[in-house]
Amino acid sequence: MSRKPNRPLRPPLKKKSDAIEILDRDPRESRGGRRGEGAPRDEDAQPSRKDAHLNVDPRGPRTPRPPRAGGAPAPRRPRIEGDPARHPEAHRSALGQPEAGERPARGRGQGGGRNAPTTLTEPERLQKVLAQAGVASRREIEEWVVAGRISVNGLPASLGQKIGPGDRVKVNGKLVPLRFTQRSPRVLIYHKPEGEIVSRDDPEGRPTVFERLPILRKGRWLAVGRLDFNTSGLLLFTNDGDLANKLMHPRYELEREYAVRILGELTEEQVKSLTEGIQLEDGPAKFNLLRDEGGEGANHWYRVTISEGRNREVRRMFEAVGLTVSRLMRVRYGSVELPARLKRGMWMEMPEAEACALAGLPPPQQSRQQDQRDKRPVKLHRTQPR
């Protein structure tokens, strides 16, 4: 049997009215003081601070959240005293928070997670974005827009149209994944031999230069200029259409240097006409530099530089003065020279820092290991035609 306590019985306390309870409450509790564990909370009590309205939730009273699985209590956020406007999460209460079980809305084309690519908010021109993605050159993209092969958000694209991260671009009905980040372009240096055509498709079935290049996972290789079927030498490739347009556009006037072997020698009058200007079928043309390199027998070598890239321009200029070119080899394109150790049919990739300098971009930030790799000699590759 349980033993009764020896304490005397106390008479029951009378319940105070609500008005008396508010008057008897400690004033420190309404001034932001620490409330006792068992003290009740009165929602109708008048605040005593002038800035107490800042603490009022504009969304009204919250509904109690459902209990967690396992009965674990929800973690409490630390309470910060002082001015609530300085609260590090004060902007969230002003903007509102999603309800329980509701995810915040995301913009179209913007993925989440820490591995998601950083996107720019400023829109860019359609042909520039597609060219940077390696889809094609700017000139080709403009032709595709006119032909109606490109659509933006389900509507036909227009020349000069700007797009942003939330736009969906399709080429021939296929969605193009776009990244609005500045990526370092890739540049290949290829020693083209005679007997290859600079084209992806040839009706005659001749071998093409693209059959020897490495395969890209995204985008495609763009040839910077062209070389004739019987012309060898330096040929550049890049996956950046903006860079390809910069290297090929006539307004930049990048010099091309060729080693030319002809049957016979040039006279002073012929040299003067070739350097001052000669009339061709498609307009006047001239060499910026013409230097004699000597030769043996009937063959003679010359070095010439030209700032244009018209079809068979060098050969046609020598034919205009009555001489035949027996061999033509490009040895320099702008600031890029053909390496002596790069033999015919071989290619090498330009270091990232040099590719950025060629495109006019700031050099990438590299670690020590990457710096050591860049100091090593560039690997030469020889691939069999596919």
Give catalytic residues, as residue numbers: 228
Burial zone of 51 (CB within 10 Å; 0-12 exposed, 13-18 middle, 19+ buried): exposed
Note the residue count of the chain. 386
Residue type, 249: H
Nearest to 274 by CA among 325, 221, 206: 325
**Under a CB-based contact definition with an 8 Å cutoff, are residues 188 and 221 in contact?**
yes
C-alpha span between 23 and 58 (Å, rounded): 28
**Under a CB-based contact definition with an 8 Å cutoff, are residues 262 and 299 in contact?**
yes
302: DSSP letter: E
* Host H or E run for residue 14: none
Q: What Cα–Cα distance (Å) separates residue 257 from each residue in 168, 228, 248, 333, 386? A: 43, 15, 14, 7, 30
**Rg of the chain over CA atoms, in angstroms?**
38
Output 173-180 pairs: Cβ under 8 A, ≥24 positions apart.
176/130, 176/133, 176/135, 177/133, 177/218, 178/109, 178/129, 178/130, 178/133, 179/117, 179/119, 179/133, 180/119, 180/120, 180/124, 180/129
C-alpha span between 67 and 74 (Å, rounded): 8
Nearest to 305 by CA among 340, 270, 330, 342: 330
